[in-house]
Amino acid sequence: MNDADEDLALLAPGLIHELRHPLLGIKGGMELVEWKLGSAIAGLEEWKLIQRQVQRMEEFLHSYQALLSSGKPASSFFVVEEVVDQAVELLAFRLKRLGKRFDASHGSMTKVAWGEPSAALHAVVNVLVNAVDAAEEAGESARVQVRVVGGPTNIEVRVSDEGRGVPRELRRRLFEPRFTTKEPGKGTGLGLHIARTMMRKYGGAVRLVDEGDPARLSWAKTEFTVEIPARPD
Ligand SMILES: Nc1ncnc2c1ncn2[C@@H]1O[C@H](COP(=O)(O)OP(=O)(O)OP(=O)(O)O)[C@@H](O)[C@H]1O
Ligand SMILES: [Mg+2]
């Protein structure tokens, strides 16, 4: 590895390391605020939102750290719908703009999968952001839907959108690192690559769903799936 490569390889661990300190500072500051203001702030919906976002930030750092570490990662059973709800909450500001064109409702029968919930959250968030970008680009009526589908070996989070779709000639490039069709400053082209790498680490996958797939939504112009093993292998 030359010096430039080595610098690059240290970038992600370095970033995680550096971010942990301000994050601890934010958490400490929040505890102090709560201590000073008590129930006047603790019950506020906006305050709870900030708390949950800080918690998500911690989870993201954790999932990146697990991605960078060698060896077999720790896995556990988790409820997939809870991960979807967290992703929706995390993107609430953007999803609100879609109004009724966005749907992530699920029934009371939940599905349990095996892996690392923060890696699944990371993957769902990235795929969902892409779907929202695509729908917004396509105009006023484009829909986005997230649903959880259960199979015998995998649980899938399917994200469908009514954007312009992915041109056939670009499909094989989607997961390449730094492949982006977004304007400079808007996309890094790392979203799908990192999401897939993270999911693979836990025996899962991220795929573009084929047009002929029987479970694909009929109106979807693009559908991605985040696959999570249903149980340990
Ligand atoms: N739902 C979608 N509809 C149409 N094209 C998509 C969709 N999802 C991904 N793509 C295409 O795949 C490319 C790569 O996606 P990826 O998430 O890896 O990077 P990005 O969204 O461009 O940037 P980043 O995620 O790093 O901000 C996108 O630039 C876009 O061309
Ligand atoms: Mg993206």
188 CA: nearest ligand 1 atom:
26
DSSP bridge partners of 76: 115
Show Cβ contacts of residue 60 under 8 Å, excluding neighbours closer than 6 positions: 118, 121, 122
Ligand nearest, relative to CA of residue 184: 1
| Dihedral of the alpha carbons of 196, 186, 59, 204, in degrees to the nearest 10 | -10
Q: What is the pLDDT of residues 48-87, one digit of tens each?
A: 989 988 988 888 888 888 877 777 778 999 999 999 999 9
Rounded to 5°, the CA angle 226-8-123 comes to 10
Q: 189 C-alpha to center of ligand 1: Å?
A: 6
Q: What is the pLDDT of residues 6-15, one digit of tens each?
A: 766 777 788 8
Residues with CB under 5 A from ligand 2 (ion): 130, 191
Encoding tokens for residue 151?
Answer: 């199979």
131 CA: nearest ligand 1 atom:
1
Site of tokens 């990146």: 64
Q: 133 C-alpha to center of ligand 2: Å?
A: 8
Going by DSSP bridges, is the β-strand pair 144-150/102-103 parallel, antiparallel, or unpaired?
Answer: parallel
Backbone angles phi, psi at 180, to 5 degrees: -145, 150
Show Cβ contacts of residue 128 under 8 Å, excluding neighbours closer than 6 positions: 87, 88, 91, 144, 146, 159
pTM: 0.87
SS3 216: coil
Return the H-helix or E-strand segment holding 78: strand 76-79
224 CA: nearest ligand 1 atom:
1
Q: What is the pLDDT of residues 196-218, one digit of tens each?
A: 999 999 999 999 999 999 999 99
